[in-house]
Amino acid sequence: MKTTCFRLSLCCLLFALPLLSRGMSFYLQCPPDVTIQCSESLTDLDKWGKAWVWKDYVKLPAPAPKTVIYNTNACGIGFITRTWEVEDPHWNVHRCSQTITVAAGLAFTSADITWPGYYQIEDCNPLVDPRNLPYGYDYPRFNRVQCSQPMYSYKDTKYTISQGCMKILREWKVIDWCQFVPNAKPVVGLWTYTQVIKLVVNDSSVVLHCPSDTIAHARLDCAGQFVKLDSAFANSQCGYPLAVRNTSPYSRGKGPDASGEYPLGTTEFYYIAEYGCGKEIKCKVKVTVRGKIGPVPYCLNGLVVALMPVDTNRDGTPDDGMIEVWAKDFDIGSYHPCGAQPLHFSFSADTAHRSQIFTCADLGKNEVSMYVTDSSGNQAFCKTYLEIQNNNARIPDCRRKDSIRSTIVVSGLVRDPAGKACADIGVNLKATPQWKVIERRDTVFGYRYDTILVASGNIFYIRWPDTSIQVRKDSVLEELIERSLTDGQGNYVFDAVVAEGDYSLSMDRRETGLDGIDLGDVIVLLKHSLGSERMVDPYQLLAADVNGDRQLDVLDARLLYDIVIGRAFYADLPRHYYFVRDPVLFPDPLHPFSELGDQTLELQGLRHSMRSINYTAVRIGELDGLGGFSSLANRTSSAGQSGVAAFSVGEVYPNPFSGSQLSFPLLLKEKRILQLHLTNAQGQMVCDYEGSFDPGQHRWQISIGDMPAGALLFYSISDGEHIVYGQLIRASE
């Protein structure tokens, strides 16, 4: 019964709805058509109007548009159509549309482009792709892209200024497809810009190798001499070839070869290698051409000078007289046949002996020599006399020394490079050998015959006894040598040297054993020869000249190694020491041999005592300053770290070894990963291992291949922070 009543009520309601709606109003109102600029944002179209529904004169928001159609091109120009549909209560559909016309706005111009700026790249191998350049130097940036479609491209043109210095002209092109018309004249919608990129090879590892200073001897004339020099060259880890030039005014070419015809004297010039953009590295070289023609001396025929009084005790009475005379005072037109050259005047072969002081002991005539020396070291001299007078000075007791030649003192000190005194160094003072004429008289007995012709025609022979004296003269070379040994403080002294003589001073010492020269010294010399750790101390470089040829190479290292292992003998070396006169300033510390000379000091015309002829004794083969193999068994170095090493290495067993198994005892304070590297004496890798070890004691067993008897190996064990070095020897069979 209830269901029947509900259905009847529903039918009545549906029948009554049309009757009630006959007086209702309904209207769909769309926004008007508009025209906008393409630069406007299209994200919210409602800002150009909304649709409304009027129902019974009441304004209500319309639902969202049923369709929104964009008819715009790639440049954003065209129109947009929005269509709304609404169904009224009578099931009638109402439609309306709005057309939004998008018109072109301000055109895209060059002002809307931010071009990449000038950029300089300094690197070993500069990368120039825009993707590798920083922001602002990589690509063009567009400040406004509405109503436009900008695109870019580029093309590089590379210009080389010098090796390692280049410029790239990067030509950028930007077109706006909304404006650009191909082949149109004038061109519209295309802009160009040239970006400059400078490439500089920045290589701090550049090394310039120059030939050593050269001394050449000229021909027997005043012309120069052709000097052949080794070419200079430069190395760069960046792989760029470096051009080398020279500044010599006499070279045949201005490249790395400075050979040419050099005049007499010393010529200084530079080798220069240029890298990057204007960066230079250079070295100075000296070429000395020594002439064989000496100067021509001309002396005054005597010079007279008067003494000046000297009051040493300041009592008002002169105690002695003194006058200083210069060797040049005797010159009266000395010259050099080869033209203008600087001439140096001295009283002896020592060019520093330019002046001399004369006192009452020299009263009267004194024979002197004026030496003339040219820039090549050639000397000539002439003899004259100097008369010393005591006239106006009226010096009392001013008398000439007697005929007995006075004696002077020659002494000095010998130390090692560390300043420690050297005892038992042999010092020899040798007088210049002089020829002495020895006359011998011999009595010769014989007969003399006379003939007498008498009137009868007979001839008589008469024999007379005859005695004659024959005189023979022989010349004997007399050589006087005094020898002394340095005491415990390194001092030596010759206290009875006859003055005014010519002497030569030399030193020597021969060792009977190695005395501290061991494998550690071999390691130092090997590292230098292989270039892994160069020696720079001049005394250390002198000590490394084992074979005595004044050149450091692998031959010295091999000889020192043979001596240490007993294959060769230290006693057979040509010398055990180099003696360097103090003080010495090495002009080129890396090439100290040029300052050694022949290890003999010439003392010409020695008139006064010389008490400070000091020397530094450099032991051949002593390079590391240590003594003994045990002190070199393990050397630990820190790789840029501080503190105590986290591991240590004990005595390697066996060492020397004969088999292929080695045992390295380890003690670790904490867990570490260790790397073991073995290299031979030539620096070549033999084998390497890696292992992880917990704290505590361990034995690291490794296996190596066959090694020749007597082979020397070097090992290094590292944990990345500390390194332990050592050496191994293959035992002889």
Residue for token digits 């309306």? Answer: 96
Question: Comparing 33-37, 85-89, 389-393, which segment has the lowest mean pLDDT?
Answer: 389-393
Distance CA 335, CA 682 (A): 58
- Bridge partners of 504, per DSSP, are 430, 602
CB atoms within 10 A of CB 341: 17
Pairing of strands 685-693, 722-729: unpaired
**Helix 519-530 and helix 554-564: axis angle, to 10°?**
160
CB contact at 8 A, 588 and 213: yes
Nearest to 304 by CA among 329, 321, 334: 329
Question: Comparing 389-393, 614-618, 638-642, 652-656, which segment has the lowest mean pLDDT?
Answer: 638-642
501 Cβ contact partners less than 8 Å away, ≥ 6 residues apart: 431, 432, 605, 606
Give residue 699's Cα distance to chain centre.
Answer: 43
Higher pLDDT, 643 or 65: 65
Q: Is the pLDDT of residue 93 over 80?
A: yes
Distance CA 556, CA 508 (A): 21
At 50, the pLDDT band (50, 70, 90 cuts) reads: very high
Nearest to 171 by CA among 109, 116, 127, 133: 116
* pLDDT single digits (tens) 170-204: 999 999 988 888 888 888 899 999 999 998 887 77
* pLDDT single digits (tens) 498-515: 888 889 999 999 998 888
- 61: cis peptide before it, omega within 30°? no
Q: Cβ-count burial of 615 within 10 angstroms (0-12 exposed, 13-18 middle, 19+ buried)?
A: buried
Distance CA 198, CA 180 (A): 32
Average pLDDT over residues 457-474: 66
pLDDT of residue 544: 94
Q: Is the pLDDT of residue 586 over 60?
A: yes
pLDDT of residue 475: 64
pLDDT of residue 665: 92
pLDDT of residue 22: 47
Nearest to 619 by CA among 488, 696, 531, 515: 515
Distance CA 285, CA 104 (A): 75
| Helix, strand, or coil (residue 280) | strand
Q: N- to C-terminal Cα distance for the chain?
A: 128
Distance CA 285, CA 268 (A): 6
Nearest to 462 by CA among 452, 472, 474: 452
| Helix, strand, or coil (residue 61) | strand
Nearest to 109 by CA among 172, 176, 47: 176
Mean pLDDT, the chain, whole residue set: 83
Distance CA 55, CA 61 (A): 11
CB contact at 8 A, 720 and 647: no
CB contact at 8 A, 285 and 213: yes
Report DSSP letters for 124-152, one per residue.
SS---SGGGSPTTSSS-EES--TT--EEE
- Tokens at 207, concatenated: 């090394």
Provide the Cα torsion 655, 656, 660, 663; round to 10°.
0
CB contact at 8 A, 414 and 617: yes
Nearest to 604 by CA among 507, 505, 508: 505
Measured at the CA of 294, the angle between CA 325 and CA 550, to 5 degrees, comes to 100
pLDDT of residue 470: 67
Nearest to 568 by CA among 558, 578, 554, 583: 558
Q: Is the pLDDT of residue 576 over 60?
A: yes
CB contact at 8 A, 417 and 539: yes
Percent of the chain with pLDDT over 70: 86
Distance CA 380, CA 701 (A): 75
Q: Where are the beta strands (DSSP E) in 291-377?
A: 303-306, 308-310, 320-326, 344-346, 355-359, 364-373
Give residue 703's Cα distance to chain centre.
Answer: 40
Distance CA 366, CA 369 (A): 10
Torsional class of 364: left (φ above 0), alpha (ψ -120 to 50), beta (otherwise): left
CB contact at 8 A, 674 and 693: yes
User: H-helix or E-strand containing 267?
Assistant: strand 265-275
Q: Is the pLDDT of residue 382 over 60?
A: yes
pLDDT of residue 13: 40
- Tokens at 188, concatenated: 């519209």
Q: Is the pLDDT of residue 641 over 70?
A: no
What pTM was computed for the model?
A: 0.36
pLDDT of residue 635: 41
Percent of the chain with pLDDT over 90: 39
- Tokens at 289, concatenated: 């051409």
* pLDDT single digits (tens) 281-302: 899 999 998 887 888 999 998 8
Amino acid symbol at 513: G
CB contact at 8 A, 263 and 224: yes
Average pLDDT over residues 125-151: 89
- Tokens at 465, concatenated: 């006894």
| Helix, strand, or coil (residue 393) | coil
Higher pLDDT, 459 or 261: 261
CB atoms within 10 A of CB 507: 21
597 Cβ contact partners less than 8 Å away, ≥ 6 residues apart: none
Distance CA 687, CA 248 (A): 50
Q: Is the pLDDT of residue 23 over 70?
A: no
Distance CA 527, CA 616 (A): 25
Nearest to 717 by CA among 705, 730, 726: 726
* pLDDT single digits (tens) 518-538: 878 888 888 888 777 888 889
CB atoms within 10 A of CB 714: 19
Q: Is the pLDDT of residue 325 over 60?
A: yes
Rank 157-166, 409-418, 593-602 by mean pLDDT and report only the highest: 409-418
**What CA–CA distances, in Å, run from 635 to 428, 509, 546, 714, 727?**
42, 32, 25, 11, 10
Q: Is the pLDDT of residue 43 over 70?
A: yes
Average pLDDT over residues 13-35: 67
Overall size of the chain counted in residues: 733
